[in-house]
Chains A and B, each alone.
Chain A
């Protein structure tokens, strides 16, 4: 029977567990947020991953790992048009630019990084296609899943807590007026400072995350820290519809609405 379903019913951790225990070979195709991603496995080990249309070629992976500069990556792209990743890798190793171990390490980091992005995906279709391998010209690695599963389980637990604390990213935060607390004196991480810069009731948490290139987990983590420290409080965003009760009494003038409320109050007082 095909291994397919929805991440909402069968989280990624459970899929990985199954792939690992059954030592499966094939590709897991994930359809999420209008994106199609692929995680490939060989005898229960992660060997390759592709997130949507993101460039997972060797040049880009080395650039992301800061093994090469932007300029070097542009040169490599220009000169390796007809080379496969395997050929390019071999060329770099032979030229002494980088060792084989470093290349494999960068790819391991990248491929597991793609997989980790699914730890916080709570919805999306998946299908495991038995025996389907990645393109043959790509460099494959072998990453044991056990540690990723442990990390994923921890992250999913954290995610659940954070989602409870901050259920909606459509809310905003504002600084609390607390005597003696000066934000400038706080010891915050770089990521926290970048968020603090955008804190105003005008910005929703989703907007702050977007401008800082943070995912849902990262923005919740930072906001949760600030909430716990009592520095900020959740508020409705400034642009959100003002509180009103017109949907409860759609055809009434304000005078009539007041009359309705006053009648209920009088009735309750005598109840």
Chain B
């Protein structure tokens, strides 16, 4: 049996847990805890170690999805989670510009950890106050060749598209 993994990262409340939940065939094994910090009370619970989802590809291949914790005090988990990954997805909440700088920091940190392909998912694109993809690209300082795709983490189809596009990037790398 072969196991491969993709890491889903991004700032606090970007939608990482929901992204994995939408596509995983098992209930996401997560380590959510009640939020006590007032500054972070955008939602009631958050991931403190990792989320863990699974997609069985066939009899001898399983794809695991690992979600990183979004809060900075759990940054030490990143290096461990990124070891041996196929690639990674950076989730960005398109409606919260105050998190874009954090998204840039995460992106640069992951790029420094592991030279693996990645894709940026502009989440919550269904919301009225979501930033346009082009504006997001400039704000996140993404080069033209970096894939930045619209995403709605609750919508399985857009989640599938993100993952497939990441896998295409991996195939391109092999050419």
Residues of A that sit less than 8 Å from B by CB: 161, 163-168, 170-171, 227, 233-236, 240-245, 247-249, 254, 257-258, 260-265, 267-269, 271
Bound state CA distance, A164 and B114, in angstroms? 18
Q: Does B86 contact A (CB under 8 A)?
A: yes
B75 CB to closest chain A CB, in angstroms?
Answer: 10
Determine if A258 and B174 form an interchain contact, defined as CB atoms under 8 angstroms apart. Answer: yes
Bound state CA distance, A247 and B82, in angstroms? 11
Q: What is the 8 Å Cβ interface bit string for chain B, positions 89-108, against chain A (1 contact, 0 not)?
A: 00000000000011011001
Determine if A245 and B143 form an interchain contact, defined as CB atoms under 8 angstroms apart. Answer: no
Chain B residues with Cβ below 8 Å from A264 are 4, 55, 57, 61, 63, 167
Chain A residues with Cβ below 8 Å from B130 are none
Chosen A-B contacts, 27 in total, with CB atoms closer than 8 Å, are A164-B105, A165-B104, A167-B109, A167-B112, A170-B112, A171-B108, A171-B111, A234-B108, A236-B111, A236-B115, A245-B86, A245-B170, A247-B83, A247-B84, A247-B114, A248-B4, A248-B86, A248-B116, A254-B174, A257-B174, A260-B4, A263-B61, A264-B55, A265-B167, A268-B164, A268-B167, A269-B164
| B: number of interface residues (CB 8 Å) | 39
Bound state CA distance, A243 and B57, in angstroms? 24
- Cross-chain contact of B85 among A161, A167, A168, A248 (Cβ < 8 A): A248
Chain B residues with Cβ below 8 Å from A167 are 105, 108-109, 112
For window 97-154 of chain B, which residues contact chain A by CB distance below 8 Å?
Answer: 101-102, 104-105, 108-109, 111-112, 114-117, 141, 143
Chain B residues with Cβ below 8 Å from A240 are 115
Determine if A233 and B116 form an interchain contact, defined as CB atoms under 8 angstroms apart. Answer: no
B22 CB to closest chain A CB, in angstroms?
Answer: 10
Chain A residues with Cβ below 8 Å from B2 are 249, 260
Nearest-neighbor residue (CB-CB) of A267 within chain B? B57
- Cross-chain contact of B141 among A163, A227, A258 (Cβ < 8 A): A227
Q: A247-B83, A248-B4, A267-B63 are in contact. List 9 more A-B contacts (CB 8 A).
A: A170-B112, A245-B116, A245-B173, A248-B85, A248-B116, A261-B86, A261-B171, A264-B57, A271-B160
Give the interface centre of A161, A227, A254, A263 by most chain B CB atoms within 10 Å: A263
Determine if A268 and B160 form an interchain contact, defined as CB atoms under 8 angstroms apart. Answer: yes
A164 CB to closest chain B CB, in angstroms?
Answer: 4
Q: Does B87 contact A (CB under 8 A)?
A: yes
Q: Does B5 contact A (CB under 8 A)?
A: yes
Chain A residues with Cβ below 8 Å from B171 are 258, 261-262
